[in-house]
Structure 1
Amino acid sequence: MTDSSRKILILGVGNILYADEGVGVRAVERLLETYDFSDNVTLMDGGNLGMRLMQPLMDSDYCIVLDAVLGGDQPGTIYRFTGEDLRKSLAFKDSMHQSDLVDTLIYCELVGKRPETVVIGMEPYDFKNMSIELTDIVADRLPAMLDIALKELAEAGGVATPKA
């Protein structure tokens, strides 16, 4: 399969009502505001949909998940996870999210269509207090997170063109 025929999903997950837990969704919103994407790329606000993400995941060959990640480093730290490391992502915990995203990927695999998946995550400062705004620390690091996601996208065969 040529890279340009690869179906790529950029999935922002998290709960935007809890400050930095919504960083993945906010990242997708920013990408949609500032870039146009090649036809093989889909961007989606996955919120905390859990198992309802199964179909969009199975429809893609490669998935870039943007999320808040509890890795234990300083707030604003950016991580890249694949494979078993995916469990460190907040979406992969049985917390406020309906279902564990790793389990959703396992179900995709069971029915024979699991996309290659990478998580680009950021250590949150505040993910417990209700606020629709990202904290300053996380907001300041958002451009760096987007740069990493765009590099990942380019390597996967997707094209993002800055809007005029």
Structure 2
Amino acid sequence: MSMQNVLILGVGNILLTDEGFGVRAVEYLEAHYRWPDNVTLMDGGTNGLMLMSNLMDCDFLVVLDVVLGPKEPGTIYRLEGENLRQSLSFRDSMHQTDLLDTLVTCELAGHRPNAVVFGIQPYDYKSMEIELTPELQAKLPEFCEKVVAELARQDICAEKI
């Protein structure tokens, strides 16, 4: 098992329908899985630079978010490197600052974690509604299973409760 410090960070604005999917995904992972001691799950909301100390404390960052990609709503993405800006939290949005800029700031301060985004194409991320759209709510278990499976391939193993 990997002993690196892992942060699974659900981000987004839960007041804007599917924009809150990352937060809902981290809640699902907390409720349905038992994680090793070196893994922290966190609701990052729209905190931007305020997450910097949490990011600097981890070696591997897994961001759960919505992604504006070229495919239809409900499509699941895995992003790394330059593709990170497809994630709503990795581009200029209503968040305080985008997370890619926050990672660059971490690097300037001495430690930038490796990062990967698991995201999903939203159906509606502009309507003021606290619940996910029914279509994205239905995709939540599948999305989380893909995240857990991908992490297991990297020796970060969770146990289903």
Which of 23, 26, 39 is the equivalent residue of 2:24?
Answer: 26
Count of residue pairs the alignment pairs up: 161
How high is the TM-score relative to the length of structure 1? 0.94
Task: Tell me, yes or no, if the aligned pair for 1:12 and 1:46 is still in contact at 8 Å.
Answer: yes
* Residue in structure 2 matched with residue 13 of structure 1 by the alignment: 11
Residue number in structure 1 paired with 2:148: 150
Within 5 Å, which residues of 2 pair with 1:94-133?
94-133=92-131
Which residue identity is paired with 1:50? G
Residue 86 of structure 1 corresponds to which residue in structure 2? 84
Give distance in 1, aligned partners of 2:155 and 2:129.
36
Q: Extract structure 1 runs of 4+ deviating beyond 6 A.
A: none
Q: Distance in 1 between matches of 2:97 and 2:34?
A: 31
Q: Could you tell me whether the CA contact under 8 Å between 1:62 and 1:156 is conserved in 2?
A: no
The residue that corresponds to 1:71 in the other structure is 69
Q: Say whether 1:161 aligns with 2:159.
A: yes
Query: What whole-Å deviation, never above 9, does each CA across 1:101-154 have from its counterpart, x for those lacking one?
Result: 000000111122111100000000000001111111111211221112112322
Q: Distance in 1 between matches of 2:121 and 2:20?
A: 12
Q: Secondary structure at the match of 2:34?
A: strand
What one-letter code is carried by the residue in structure 1 that aligns with 2:152?
A
Q: Distance in 2 between matches of 1:136 and 1:73?
A: 19
3-state SS, counterpart of residue 5 of structure 1: coil
Q: Percent same amino acid among aligned pairs? A: 56
Measure, in 2, the Cα distance between the counterparts of 1:45 and 1:156. Answer: 22
Q: Distance in 2 between matches of 1:155 and 1:27?
A: 19
Q: CA deviation at 1:159?
A: 2.2
Instruction: Report what 1:37 is aligned to.
Output: 35
TM-score by length of 2: 0.96
